[in-house]
Amino acid sequence: MTPLQLAVLKCPNRNSDGSCEGVRYDDRHTPISCFSYPCCLLAEGTPCNYYEDNVCPVADIESDPVLQKAMQAAVYKYRMAHGWVAAIRRCPDCNGMLAKHRKYCLECSGKRKRSTWKESKRRNRGVLSTDVPKTQ
Ligand SMILES: [Zn+2]
């Protein structure tokens, strides 16, 4: 299901001819404006506040599990298209995909750990050689 198909199915603002009533509500659910649009905003690829606030949540309370899955996919597509879903995180070293809570991928974090360890050993040796004069 596409976001527009979800709007066709569930958006109460949408008329049968594809136009939009444009009814909006404030936070007390009082209608505040009625700018009717000749066409659904989603059909033009424009984000719609009404859709986000009133149609997207309907996907989570749909009783038919098959329909619910399709509706949630439509909501996900809408959110992807309008920058709601965070981009997939990438490893800054190799640009590989990152697992949850990881700063670097497994391979790069291993490399970094080894190089940090080597660096610290090198530093310690350097400090020791200057602080403690070698006995001859
Ligand atoms: Zn990496």
Q: What is the CA radius of gyration of the chain?
A: 28
CA-to-CA separations, 50 to 63, 71, 80, in angstroms, rounded: 22, 16, 17
> Of 88, 12, 77, nearest to 47 (Cα)?
77
Residue 132 has pLDDT above 60, yes or no: no
Q: What is the pLDDT of residues 101-114, one digit of tens each?
A: 889 988 999 999 99
Q: CB 3: neighbour CB atoms within 10 A?
A: 27
User: What gap in Å lies between CA 53 and CA 40, rounded to an integer?
Assistant: 15
Ligand 1 geometric centre to CA of 93 (Å) = 5
Residue 42 has pLDDT above 70, yes or no: yes
Q: Which residue has the higher pLDDT, 34 or 14?
A: 14
Model pTM score: 0.57
The pLDDT, as a whole number, for residue 32 is 76
Ligand 1 geometric centre to CA of 88 (Å) = 14
Ligand 1 geometric centre to CA of 91 (Å) = 5
